[in-house]
Amino acid sequence: MKIVVKLDELMIKRKLRLNELASRIDLTEANLSILKTGKARAIRFSTLEALCKELDCQPGDILEYREE
């Protein structure tokens, strides 16, 4: 099983750059990059909330469960 982060798809749709989104949700670029590339082990509710607010989406739009 795998949780996939679909942040890059959302960013392309919204035409947002990594540094721009990072500054808007008050997160470092390095941490956002960890999340975007799927290296993150966990995500805080506060980060998820900020992302949903900024990208105007639901948590399910950002995260997806895929069976391997």
Which of 10/27 has CB closer to another protein?
27
Select from 10, 47, 55, 62 the one that contacts another protein (CB under 8 A): 47
Compute the least distance from the CB of residue 43 to another protein, in Å: 5
Under the criterion CB under 8 A, does residue 10 sit at the interface with another protein? no
Question: Which residues inside 17-46 make contact with another protein, applying CB under 8 A?
Answer: 27, 31-32, 34-35, 39-44
Closest of 3, 27, 25 to residue 14, by C-alpha: 25
Closest of 13, 68, 11, 58 to residue 36, by C-alpha: 11
Task: Classify residue 10 as left (phi > 0), alpha (psi -120 to 50) or beta.
Answer: alpha
Question: What CA–CA distance (Å, rounded) separates 56 from 54?
Answer: 6
**Which residues contact another protein by CB under 8 A?**
27, 31-32, 34-35, 39-44, 47
